[in-house]
Amino acid sequence: LDALRLNMTAVDQLHPLLSDLLRAINRYPDLPVGFAGKDVIKRWLITLNKMRAAESLDEAAVRQLTFDIDSANSEFYRLISDK
C-alpha cells in the first residue's frame, strides 16, 4: 500500500513487492486455506506478468490494486485477531 501511495506504479517496482508479500503469506501458518487475499495477490501478479517491466498501471488499475490490497490487509488482520 505504501508503494502505491508513493506513486510507484511501474511493473518492475510493484512485482517484487507483491512477490515478497505472497511469499510471506505462504509462510504464515495460521491462515485458512481459502484466504481470499492470497488469490487477489496471485491475480495481480498474473496481470503484472503480462506487462512489460517499463509499463505502469493506469489510474484505474492503481485504484483497484489499492482497494484489493487494502481489503486483503483488513481480512488478514481480522483473521489473526480472531485467534
The reported pLDDT for the residue numbered 83 is 62
56: β partners: 10
Question: Which cell goes with 59?
Answer: 489510474
- Count the residues in the chain: 83
Question: Cα–Cα–Cα angle for 73, 26, 11, nearest 5°?
Answer: 65
Residue 57: pLDDT above 80? yes
Report the C-alpha gap between 33 and 36 in whole angstroms.
9
Only one residue has cell 508503494, namely: 3
Single pTM value for the model: 0.89
Coil, strand or helix at 56: strand
- List the one residue out of 12, 13, 6, 4 whose CA is nearest residue 61: 4
Split at pLDDT 50, 70, 90, the class of 45 is: very high
